[in-house]
Amino acid sequence: MDMITLPAGDRVPSLGLGTWHMGARTDNRAAEVRALQHGVDLGMILIDTAEMYADGGAEEVTGAAIAGRRDAVFVVSKVLPHNASRSGTVAACEASLRRLGIETLDLYLLHWPGHHPLEETLGGFEALRAAGKIRHYGVSNFDPADMADLAAAGATACQTNQCLYNPSRRGIEFDLLPMMAQAGMPLMAYSPLEQGRLADDPVLTEIGRGHGVDALAVALAWVLRRGDVIAIPKASDLAHVAANRAAAGLVLGDDELALIDAAFPPPERAAPLEIL
């Protein structure tokens, strides 16, 4: 498993575990917990969740999965924009910690830009850091202008920007990814498999056939190719978790990357940030 270094020096795996859509149904929770535990056992020790996911249900699933193994995992959660005043950020984090059953988040993100001034959110993050309730902070769904606003607001310790990125969603390659690379800040890519919609793509399927894998494995390997991206696919069954882990070892050749570029052309101009 390749490791990615965050600006503060923490090293995390390039492939983690997403939890979007987990926790919505109680009859699925045992399987979801097992899937997360299996992923951790396979080295995918970064788990991403959020207070928004299933109204905290995904955090509860995550908490059950990491019970007794807190020191082995790197836990990421997010505050909703409407909660992201200074005091609201603190209160939201404390509620997330209760659902997770832990005392400290490794990384806490603002889920997307909202109406609260960024200075207030940053004040909440710093208060949480001082209290030992979070170790680091970051953002999600921030475009280049938002990242500039973040810097202007006084953010000096942002660790990542979590955005939509996969072969069919390449707009951030034009401006956002170069900006982040220059700052030494890795991207955290959500929906790297386009929520499974790339499974039937003929180009990815044909490339996968040559490696004995499916189209989704190729898509995931493509996302991880850069060396400065942390992918967080969600998988709710053990076979899918194992397939994702295996894809992290798949190296695509230049000719295969060229075929993907032809099928999913890289951007030639700036475009609005895509959000799912």
Would you please indicate which residues are annotated as catalytic (active-site) residues?
A: 53
Residues 174/188, Cβ–Cβ less than 8 Å: no
Residues 260/167, Cβ–Cβ less than 8 Å: yes
Cα–Cα separations (whole angstroms), residue 85 to 80, 111, 148:
10, 13, 20
Return left, alpha or beta for 135; rule: phi > 0 is left, psi -120 to 50 is alpha, else beta. Answer: alpha
CA 2, chain centre distance (Å):
16
State how far the Cα of 179 lies from the Cα of 258, in Å rounded to an integer.
Answer: 24
State how far the Cα of 147 lies from the Cα of 176, in Å rounded to an integer.
Answer: 9
Label residue 211 exposed, middle or buried (CB < 10 Å: 0-12, 13-18, 19+): middle
Residues 96/134, Cβ–Cβ less than 8 Å: no
State how far the Cα of 61 lies from the Cα of 65, in Å rounded to an integer.
Answer: 6
| DSSP helix, strand, coil percent of the chain (3-state; round to 5) | 45, 15, 35
